[in-house]
Structure 1
Amino acid sequence: MIIAPRLRNWLTGPLLMTGLLAASALQAQSTLSMSSAYGSGTLMGERAKEFSQKVAEQSQGTLAISPRSDIPAESNLQAATNGVIDIAATLSGTLANEIPFFGLSSLPSVAQDLDEAHRLYLTAKPRYRELLKEQNQRLLFALPWPPSGLWSKEPIDDADDMAGLPIRTYDRNTQRVLLNLGANPHILSWAKLSPLLEDGSIHAALTSAMGGVSAELYRYMPNFTTLNYAMPLNIVHMNADSFNALDKQQQTALLSAAEAIEDAGWAATSKILAETHVTLQAEGARLISPAPADLLRDFEKASQHVTDSWKQKVSHQDRALLQQYLDSRPEK
């Protein structure tokens, strides 16, 4: 069949244009690497997955996120600063090793419930942004881990029960508190904790109910005491050069996805906490709530120097910010 030149042009013109547009879209597609220590079965692992999906959706497929798990959490700050990775999800206490102000959310008893933790975050958010900017990074979003409590092989009533206790913790602040209580604390990632649970060398863990359920701590430590000790943040931060290299549509999509995940994540935490308490009891764990008064008193006494130490490490501006938040708290 012979096609007339005009008809051939009419047919091939749109096809050619479609091909050019597809090629243009393909060329505009970008992939960002994101480092996280949390697997898909964890709360923050699920949030990272949702974030990736939101980014792809908001950018209409021109922006993708590729997860990486080969970078240790303690290296995330430098890796993101130097452009080794584009995005990192890092526990606030780990960031505090390099930038002390990030230890704010894990200060003991500063935020006594999720509403207070959110107000504290909003108060500190501009300062988080400023400090990350100094590291050639930008804050994308932050979400709270549910309140830290105490998983243990045996019920713990006071500091005497913690003497010499081999216990897993997540940052230096809590390590110092546990040392003051006479325990034997170790800062351990979940990957490093697993074999120690199997061989029985760790007898307790300071983490959230959610963290314990995800790691199946109830198989080794069937008691969970609700201390409401602290609600550390998971900070998602990004190399500024990587962000600036994106086109405007991709930047808008990324920030829109980050905002949506942050809003939804904070709103869902209370429901998740209640569901977790039901789950841990269904798995045979004992929920101890409220915590014994003597244990709370001993934790408060052991924690005071952590707050004092934090104040010595940060600037006058940072201390004033904490005091501003404390002054705004309703009477309990």
Structure 2
Amino acid sequence: MTTVFKLKNRTAMAAVMAAAAVAAGTGAASAQTTWDMAVVWPEGNFHTQNHNTFAEAVEEATDGEVQIQVHSGGALGLGGPEMLAAVRDRIVPIGDILLNQQVGEEPIFGMESLPYLAPSFDDLAVLQGIARDHYDEVAERNNQKILYMVPWPGQAVYTTEPVETIEDLEGVQIRVVDSMGSRFFEALGASPVQLPWGEVVPGLATGTINGVTTSSSSGVDGNFWEFLDYMNRFNWQGSAIMVNVNLDAWNALSEEHREAIEAIAEDLEPQFWENARAEDEEKIAILEENGIEVTEPTPELRESLLEVSRPMWEEFMEDVPESREIIEAYLEEVGR
């Protein structure tokens, strides 16, 4: 572990301890267990709102004996790529973890982000249904348990100029989330820049980037209409978060509380998926109201993008052998 990461961990731990102290001062100390939940998304984001719903349900079901305090907007000092390790090492007991930011720890979590592998909510549901048991095993070997998983709306491409052909992407300095995105957009002739969410709007404001690939939700969160003019709904990449709890924290609960929390997570996950679908429709409408022109890729453009994507699927299966059985079963299920 590098010195920098140690320092970050100490800072995050101090923030968690401070949050716990504040909670004690406001009467939360009466609860037998309080978990501080790390979330990088802002308070108004639909994922954060889902987590608040979950926390409220847990408090009610356990008569206040288990409380989850949701700290949005990165308030606990943890960045997205640190989340899997942070929950594993109990820097926080529970966290919102974006799968494709964890590939440095567990490459399998980059599977859903393969270009055009699972471009729709329905496709992603099939893929996760096949992969979920394996994800549970990966979480367990990282000393944590997955409580629920929720998708982001599909990844669009925001630009200053319309994108109608691959050539229109040439030279665009486009923000991407992970190495998969970098490789994909490099192959398309763009100039990808990997940036965490917190650096996207400053990058647009300073001209470091002039394009972004992200969801409709993030486009609204970032007021993209102040910087960009077009959103092409490529839906080129699936993306999901998982809410994981550290196994030591989990096992410290009574069996009754564990069963109640598992039941809540199972009951709420389908509703959270519906919230994601509704979020996409709502946020696209907001983007359009604020002057963003929303387009769909033509069949010709989509086929060109798939031609670039398919070799990346095979390469991923070679590099991450544990993914092959899952991907091949998924492709057979969806008839590709």
Indicate conservation of the 8 Å contact 2:100/2:110, yes or no. Answer: yes
Matched, 1:250 2:253: no
Letter in 1 for 2:126: R
Q: What's the secondary structure of 1:141's corresponding residue?
A: strand
Deviations 1:20-43 (A, max 9, x none): xxxxx9766210121121111222
- Which residue does 2:18 correspond to in 1? none
Residue 327 (structure 2) aligns with: 322
- Structure with bigger gyration radius: 1
Task: Kindly indicate whether the alpha-carbon contact (under 8 Å) linking 1:218 and 1:284 is maintained by their aligned counterparts in 2.
Answer: yes
The two structures, once aligned, show a CA RMSD in angstroms of 1.9
**Structure 2 residue identity aligned to 1:327:** E
Preserved contact between residue 147 and residue 230 of structure 1 (Cα < 8 Å): yes
How far apart in 1 are the matches of 2:332 and 2:251?
Answer: 38
For these two proteins, the number of residue pairs brought into alignment is 305
Is the partner of 2:63 in helix, strand or coil?
A: coil
Corresponding residue of 2:159: 152
Equivalent runs, 1:81-120 vs 2, <5 Å: 81-120=88-127
Cα gap change, 1:46 to 1:239, in 2 (>3 Å): same
Counterparts of 1:56 and 1:215, CA distance in 2: 32
Where 1:67 maps in the other structure, the secondary structure is: strand
Q: Distance in 2 between matches of 1:42 and 1:298?
A: 33
Q: Deviations over 1:279-310 (max 9, x none)?
A: 21111110112x13443234223323432231
Does residue 50 of the first structure (1) align with residue 53 of the second (2)? Answer: yes
CA distance in 1 between partners of 2:171 and 2:299 (Å): 21
Q: Alignment partner of 1:140: what SS? A: strand
Aligned to 2:43: 40
Following superposition, the deviation at residue 214 of structure 1 comes to 2.0
Q: Distance in 1 between matches of 2:82 and 2:335?
A: 38
The two structures have a TM-score, normalised by structure 2, of 0.85
| 8 Å Cα contact 1:87/1:237 also seen in 2 | yes
Q: 2:316 aligns with which of 310, 321, 324?
A: 310
CA distance in 1, matches of 2:265, 2:290: 34
The answer to whether the 8 Å contact 1:145/1:234 transfers is yes
Q: 2:64 aligns with which of 61, 65, 88?
A: 61
SS at match of 1:90: strand
Q: Distance in 2 between matches of 1:195 and 1:306?
A: 31
CA deviation vs aligned residue, 1:250-284 (integer Å, no higher than 9, x gap): 22232223223311111233333222222211111
State percent identity of aligned pairs: 25
| Equivalent residue, structure 2, for 1:167 | 174
Secondary structure, aligned partner of 1:309: helix
- Where in structure 2 are the equivalents of 1:186-225 lying within 5 Å? 186-225=193-232
Q: Which amino acid aligns with 1:264?
A: Q
Aligned partner of 2:136 in structure 1 is 129
One-letter code of the match for 2:210? Answer: H
Secondary structure of 1:84's counterpart equals coil
Within 1, Cα distance between the matches of 2:107 and 2:70?
27
Question: Taking structure 1 as the reference length, what is the TM-score of the superposition?
Answer: 0.86
Q: CA separation in 1, counterparts of 2:163 and 2:206?
A: 21
Alpha-carbon contact 1:93-1:172 (below 8 Å) kept: no
Point out where structure 2 has 5 or more consecutive residues left out of the alignment. Answer: 1-27
Alpha carbons 1:177, 1:299 under 8 Å: kept = no
Q: Distance in 2 between matches of 1:26 and 1:252?
A: 23
Which residue in 2 is equivalent to 1:75? Answer: 82
1:138-196 Cα shifts (integer Å, max 9, x gaps): 11111000111111111112222222211111121111101111211112122111211
Task: Report the AA paired with residue 223 of structure 1.
Answer: Y
AA of the residue aligned to 2:110: G
Change (3 A) 1:94 1:26: closer
The residue that corresponds to 2:245 in the other structure is 238
2:97 alignment partner, SS class: strand
Uncovered stretches (5+) of structure 1, i.e. residues with no partner: 1-24
Match of 1:15 in 2: none
Residues 247/27 of structure 1: CA separation in 2 closer, same or farther (3 Å cut): farther
Which of 262, 287, 300 does residue 306 from structure 2 map onto?
Answer: 300
Query: Quick one: distance in 1 between partners of 2:201 and 2:293?
Result: 21
